[in-house]
């Protein structure tokens, strides 16, 4: 576990969250500040700062993406968006990689 990492603590069960799905490698849980009717975060249990670091482990990267798709199916979403904010300038505030799965409302393009 990385020191003082919020999502490492969530993965370890030390901070309660509304879990949607869990595997031995990943946890999917509802965002505390939802930006859409469905807003679920998918994280690997192990600490990786961002999508760049996660991409060095292709199997784990695949597992995170498969869980994002599984969450969308479970939530009944045909239309949805998967987002990895990467870097402060792109809106990343928690530096433990996470996929946002957003759906249940119209999505604008391009994103802001
Ligand atoms: P980022 O801004 O890094 O792309 O996304 C971080 C997300 O984590 C935000 O959407 C924020 O609402 C969510 N978040 C931050 N702290 C917590 C928490 O303690 N519990 C849950 N469920 N979500 C959190
Ligand atoms: Zn972490």
Mutate to test the pocket of ligand 1, among 34, 94, 96, 97 (most ligand atoms within 8 A of CB): 94
Does the C-beta of 33 come closer than 6 Å to ligand 1? Answer: yes
Ligand 2 centroid–CA 8 distance in Å is 4
Cα dist. 64→20, 22, 26, 102 in Å? Answer: 14, 11, 7, 15
Q: DSSP letter at 31?
A: -
pLDDT reported for residue 82 = 98
Nearest CA to ligand 1 atom 8: 31
The pTM score is: 0.98
pLDDT tens digits, 7-54: 999 999 999 999 999 999 999 999 999 999 999 999 999 999 999 999
The sheet with strand 80-83 has its strands ordered as: 19-22, 26-30, 38-44, 99-103, 80-83
- The stretches of 1-112 forming alpha helices (DSSP H) are 6-11, 51-54, 58-74
């Amino acid at each position: 576990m990385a020191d003082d990492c919020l999502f490492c603590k969530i993965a370890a069960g030390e901070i309660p969250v509304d879990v949607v799905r869990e595997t031995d490698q990943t946890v999917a849980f509802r965002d505390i500040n939802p930006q859409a009717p469905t807003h679920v975060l998918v994280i690997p249990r192990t600490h990786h700062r961002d999508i760049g670091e996660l991409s060095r482990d292709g199997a784990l990267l695949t597992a995170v993406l498969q869980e994002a798709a599984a969450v969308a199916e479970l939530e009944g979403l045909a239309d949805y968006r998967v987002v990895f904010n990467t870097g402060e300038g792109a809106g990343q505030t928690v530096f433990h990689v996470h996929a946002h799965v957003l759906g249940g409302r119209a999505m604008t393009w391009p994103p802001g």
